[in-house]
Structure 1
Amino acid sequence: MGWKTVFISSKSKLSYKANHMIIQTATDIKEMPFSQIGCVVVSTTQTVITSYLIAKLMEQDIKVIFCDNDHDPCSELTPYYSNIKRNQNIEKQISWTISKKEQLWTEIVTNKIENQIQIMKAFHLDTTEVIAELDQIEDNDHSNREAIIAMKYFPAIFGTNFTRGTHDEITNVMLNYGYTILLSTINQEVVSQGYLTQLGIHHHSLQNDFNLSSDLMEPFRQFFDLEVLKLRDEEFNLDTKLRLIDVLNHEIKYDGKSYLIRNAITKHIQYCFKFMDSKKDSFIKVGIPDEV
């Protein structure tokens, strides 16, 4: 699987030829080798894509995201048979113990909150209340410190009048777009490693097909928060979307090594699964760089 995100924003036809994706517009024809493609974002409803290309993309575990009339992500494609150990892994996933789930969720939430604190410190914001809340976190976050801290964190970095509930506000639109791209990337990794996105360790909504991905993505959300902080005064246009997608290509440290975020996500999910299968005893944290 490649590293490039192919963003289709104009009327075009997508087809297959010799392990390449063919992008045909009114004025041009381009060929993109599968070996370079990690994800295809179809951002316009004026695009035609052949079923043969879809089948070939799924064979290569290449994510495809479709957008609606407003150019916002609305659905994605994931393959059925992307891992030969899928049935075995699903059986293990079903048998994960409650104590293991609670232990991992505590680590994930703590990691997320620590990243939020790091961002606040980078912008010289008062972290006293947030740190005090973190100090009170319980196993499985039974007291829901995550939500309490979110109500302090978002107004602190985006302004006192900001609330995550205002879906048509430009900052929220950007955050939602970035988080959707992140969620799709997590889905791709979960499925490619032979697990079900529906069965979470903490999220368990009957209306959410991505409960597990919603759990595992939490320590990576803050990288999109940082990018939105840079973009929030700009228009939400094609360039803005491309910059949000490109967050996945930012470099970070994970387990003492440098990775692109998209590759760190792979390592993070692999490690979480090993932790749940009792092959690892500790949790490796996803860290925000000191200089943001």
Structure 2
Amino acid sequence: MIKRTIYIGSPAYLRLKQKQLVVENPEDKSIKGTVPIEDMALLMLDHYQITLSNQLLLKLQGNNVAVVSCDAHHLPFAMMLPLYGHTEHSDRIKHQLEASEPLKKQLWKQTIEQKIKNQQALLKMNDKPYEQMDLYWQHVKSGDTTNCEAKAAQHHWKYLFENFTRERFGNSPNNLLNFGYAVLRSIVARALVSSGLLPVLGIFHRNKYNPYCLADDIMEPYRPFVDKMVYNYISQYGVPEKLTKECKAYMLNIATQDVWIDGVERPLMVAVTTTTASLYKCYEGELRQIKYPTLD
């Protein structure tokens, strides 16, 4: 079953009743909606006047629901996940900790190759210059020591959008991209926990201030799917000046976008769990290749 992403953008009191999330109006106590906890994957809180019961939080964590809080700019800022989400947690962490540097460098090579291929596919489907991307993904070395990822990214952003510079706090559509990537990061972090892995231990990213290094690694080949959604949004509605509720509602659909992975078409959220499960098998020695989606 496809799990749901729930967005709350107005004052609300959230509580648990009969294994369901109950959204209550804090002023008149009227019920605005209910959602079965077992159907949820991500709960996004985008208003300062939202209150949750601790009983609800415990139930959400017990069902591996990622709870994401937004900041004053309405961008995802913090995330809450359970400490573990797999019955073989300690054994899986042992394999993750024992992964060799050569293995991690090979895994990063595979990750960057697929990211560039997906960027290339997005450029091609929108009649943008894409041929040069062959040079980048074909020359990725172990650990990407020649920095092909950055070279490909420069080409990708130069041609995907007109008069655009990719900057974290730059002009729109940077805000749409930031929001989409933050949602994607939450989805990947949740899948890593459900696969019994620690999101903090990356295969490439190493930052003592970043608790989601591995999520930042594994999400890389999925980023072009966010780029695709943003490109399609702009093509249909134009570049938005602000990150409206309509924009966010559109980007939250990233979880249910269909992608091809391992020869099967699946919703992106399901595909991510396929990727994280294959990553563990690489740590364990059962596989030598991470399963990533292809953008078609």
* Displacement after TM superposition at 1:133 (Å): 2.8
User: 1:23 Cα shift?
Assistant: 0.4
Residue 82 of structure 1 aligns to a residue whose secondary structure is coil
- Secondary structure at 1:128 match in 2: coil
* Contact 2:46 2:74 (8 Å CA) reproduced: yes
Deviation at 1:175, TM superposition (A): 0.5
The verdict on how the C-alpha distance between 1:14 and 1:129 changes in structure 2, with shifts beyond 3 A counting, is same
TM-score (norm 2): 0.93
Q: Which residue, 240, 244, 254 being the options, matches 2:261?
A: 254
CA shift, 1:248, in A, is 1.2
- Cα shift at 1:282: 3.2
**Superposed displacement of residue 284, structure 1:** 3.0
**1:15 partner amino acid:** R
| 1:184-263 pair list within 5 angstroms | 184-232=186-234, 233-235=238-240, 236-263=243-270
State the shift of 1:234 in Å.
4.3
Structure 1 gaps of 5+ residues are none
User: What is the distance in 2 between the residues matched to 1:225 and 1:270?
Assistant: 25
1:267 aligns with 2:274: yes
Give the Å deviation of 1:40.
0.8
Give the distance between the partners of 1:193 and 1:230, measured in 2 at CA. 32
1:18 equivalent in structure 2 = 18
TM-score by length of 1: 0.94
Question: 1:285, CA displacement in angstroms?
Answer: 3.6
Change (3 A) 1:84 1:44: same
- 1:97-136 to structure 2, matched below 5 A, reads 97-136=100-139
Alignment of 1:6-155 (within 5 A): 6-25=6-25, 26=27, 28-29=30-31, 30-155=33-158
* Cα distance change on mapping 1:58 and 1:166 into 2, 3 Å: closer
| 1:184-243: CA deviation from partner (whole Å, max 9, x where unpaired) | 111111112221111101111111111111111111111110111122324321111011
Report the RMSD for the aligned CA atoms in angstroms: 1.5
Task: Sort the Cα spacing of 1:15 and 1:94 in 2 relative to 1 into closer, same or farther, 3 A.
Answer: same
* In structure 2, distance between residues paired with 1:98 and 1:66: 34
Cα deviation 1:112-158 (Å, max 9, x = unaligned): 00001111111112223322233322121101110111111111101
The answer (yes or no) to whether the contact 1:83–1:192 under 8 Å persists in 2 is yes
Q: Is the 8 A contact 2:43 2:68 kept in 1?
A: yes
Structure 2: distance between partners of 1:133 and 1:31: 48
Letter in 2 for 1:258: E
Partner of residue 4, structure 2:
4
Deviations 1:244-266 (A, max 9, x none): 11011011221111210100111
Q: Is the 8 A contact 2:71 2:77 kept in 1?
A: yes
> Aligned partners of 1:184 and 1:148: how far apart in 2?
27
Contact 1:2 1:35 in 2 (8 A): no
Amino acid aligned to 1:10:
S
Contact 2:168 2:178 in 1 (8 A): no
- For residues 284 and 93 of structure 1, the distance between their equivalents in structure 2, rounded to whole angstroms, comes to 17
2:6 partner SS? strand
In the TM superposition, residue 58 of structure 1 has moved relative to its aligned partner by 0.5
Letter in 2 for 1:148: K
Change (3 A) 1:141 1:217: same
